[in-house]
Amino acid sequence: MTVTERTTASTPAPGGSRWPAVRPWLGTAARLGLAAVWLTAGGSKVGDLAASGRAVNAYKIFPYDLAVVIGAALPFVELALGLILLVGLATRLAAGISAGLLVIFIAGIASAWARGLAIDCGCFGSGGDLAAGQDPTYGTEVLRDLGFLVLAGFLLRWPRTPLSVDAALGRPPEAPEEEEESDD
């Protein structure tokens, strides 16, 4: 066997045999990353629920009283999602709720941007109206949330990950997917 033959024989096909081995660990990274996002977001707001309510109210979508209730509840929802994802329990469900919240957040930011509001999204803190002369960072916020949405989407597709309660409970891992052949 020549050097070229040995190198070719030991090199896996692109996108082929490594994916089933790497995918669960990518899922673990996505799960823990999304957990960190929710724990940070909820933790930054849970100490000042009134400020969280003001941040929701700044979007001018809901009546004030409803915005305050949503703002007070949101940190606890974020913390719960973070803890559930951290331990890896009901990962697909938590990823689905995460994806739904992220879509709502992206729509809210886009709405504020389109209506010319100058607010801080309140995603990782108190938020609310920006001081005069401060420019909102809507584009960055939307891109960031789209990145988080990709993590949630990955977990929706492949929720079983190592180092999780789901795996410890003996739920069967997903079978490796067969490459679909096209009729082209």
User: For the segment 80-132, what is each residue's pLDDT rounded down to a tens digit?
Assistant: 999 999 999 999 999 999 999 999 999 999 999 999 999 999 999 878 888 88
Task: Give the C-alpha distances (Å, rounded to integers) separating 50 from 13, 86, 163.
Answer: 55, 27, 37
Taken in order 75, 95, 161, 146, the sign of the CA dihedral is negative
Of the candidates 117, 138, 139, which has an alpha carbon nearest to the alpha carbon of residue 128? Answer: 117
Q: Where are the domains of the chain?
A: 24-159
Of all residues in the chain, what percent carry a pLDDT higher than 90?
72
Q: What is the pLDDT of residues 2-22, one digit of tens each?
A: 555 544 445 555 556 898 899
Helix (H) / strand (E) containing 37: helix 19-45
Predicted TM-score of the model (pTM)? 0.82
